[in-house]
Amino acid sequence: MNLEKDSGEPVVPDAAIDLRGVKCPFNFVKTKLKLETMESGDTLSVVLDPGEPIANVPRSVQEEGHTLLGVRERPDGLFEIIVRKA
């Protein structure tokens, strides 16, 4: 994932959470709670396991009205998503 701002600079998340090993639906709940502590327009990096977490969390944050900026599979087999808070 090579996300860039309009200026061409890379997007550096304002916050990050590592949810490896956290089962559904708790990984979405923890993501939602973290987003609630952030300002509108802030970005959050979330590390997720393959399978249900990467299938469900991105969809759920979008259903909540947030913007999914990107998804990438990491070399260790985990996934990282970047979310912009609505």
Show which residues are catalytic.
24
Report how far residue 35's alpha carbon sits from residue 84's, in angstroms, rounded to the nearest whole number: 9
Residue 6, CA atoms < 13 Å, CB-side half-sphere:
0
- Asked if residue 17 lies in contact with residue 30, where contact means CB atoms within 8 angstroms, the answer is yes
77-82-78 Cα angle (round to 5)? 10
